[in-house]
Amino acid sequence: MRTHVVDHPLVAHKLTVLRDERTDSPTFRLLTDELVTLLAYEATREVRVVPSEITTPVSPMTGTALASPKPLVVPILRAGLGMLDGMMRLLPTAEVGFLGMLRNEETLQASTYAERLPDDLSGRQCYVLDPMLATGGTLAAAIRFLTDRGADHITCVCLLAAPEGCANLERELEGLDVPVTVVTAALDERLNDKGYIVPGLGDAGDRLYGVAG
């Protein structure tokens, strides 16, 4: 697994405002959207392309087009939905599949409670959207779900990641023969005893959508 922390002053600036407890939900949603578009630029560096023959007003040339099958963008419900528009701005022709993951608080195992994805993901590049890589359990389960269906290239886009979560994810994916990259705006200090990222930004779902349960 490869972890890529995007080092850019605009990312750092937007992330700082996002973290601030005084930032309200409308501003938080807007900044998440902008930040994800910046992360998407890095996250799509290895998107598959093919040569494309075109003619400009001056001459024929060989350009570049996205390969088929088109990439699949998979927001993890609920907080990953807040990242969808920012990602689709750069990949408007991608398809979108939805995955709802729930963590059992006793066993700490993540399970799928909802999914709307093609049965066959053979040869598909998948972009998984989950704002907070905290324990890594949800992302590990989501990645297994996608690779079990044939996905052969996974990029996770996260606003923030915790070192414990990255280590755990790496352990959980041991032996998986599919390249996995995590692209994030920052690798924070640690997880606290409630599983929150420190300094983090709080509960991403609540800050995006309010405390709706």
Stretch that binds ligand URA, among 11-19, 41-49, 70-78, 203-211 (CB under 6 A): 203-211
Closest listed residue to residue 177, CA positions, set 147, 136, 139, 140: 147
How far apart are CB 136 and ligand URA at their closest, in Å?
A: 10
Question: Residue written as tokens 């989501």?
Answer: 142
To the query of whether residue 149 is one of the catalytic residues in this protein, the response is: no
Q: What is the DSSP secondary structure assignment for residue 79, as one 8-state letter?
A: G
Interface pick for ligand URA out of 106, 204, 209, 211 (rule CB under 6 A): 204
107 part of the active site: yes
Instruction: Establish whether 20 is a catalytic residue.
Output: no
66 C-beta neighbours (distance < 10 Å), count: 17
Question: What residue spans of the chain are helical by DSSP H?
Answer: 9-19, 25-43, 84-88, 137-148, 163-172, 204-209
CA distances for 150 relative to 73, 80, 81, 187, angstroms: 15, 22, 23, 29
Nearer CB in complex with ligand URA: 47/79 = 79
Shortest approach of ligand URA to residue 203 CB, angstroms?
4
Nearest to 80 by CA among 114, 46, 105: 114
Q: Which stretch binds ligand URA (CB under 6 A): 17-25, 45-53, 64-72, 196-204?
A: 196-204
Is 48 catalytic? The answer is no
Eight-state DSSP code of residue 71: P
In angstroms, what is the minimal distance from the CB of 73 to ligand URA?
Answer: 20
| Closest to 126 (Cα-Cα) out of 148, 97, 85, 102 | 97
Interaction of residue 200 with ligand URA, rule CB under 6 A: yes
Q: Does 134 contact ligand URA by CB under 6 A?
A: yes
- Residue 185 near ligand URA by CB under 6 A: no
Interface mask (CB under 6 A) for ligand URA, residues 44-73, using x and -?
------------------------------
Give me the active site residues, please. 103, 107, 203, 206
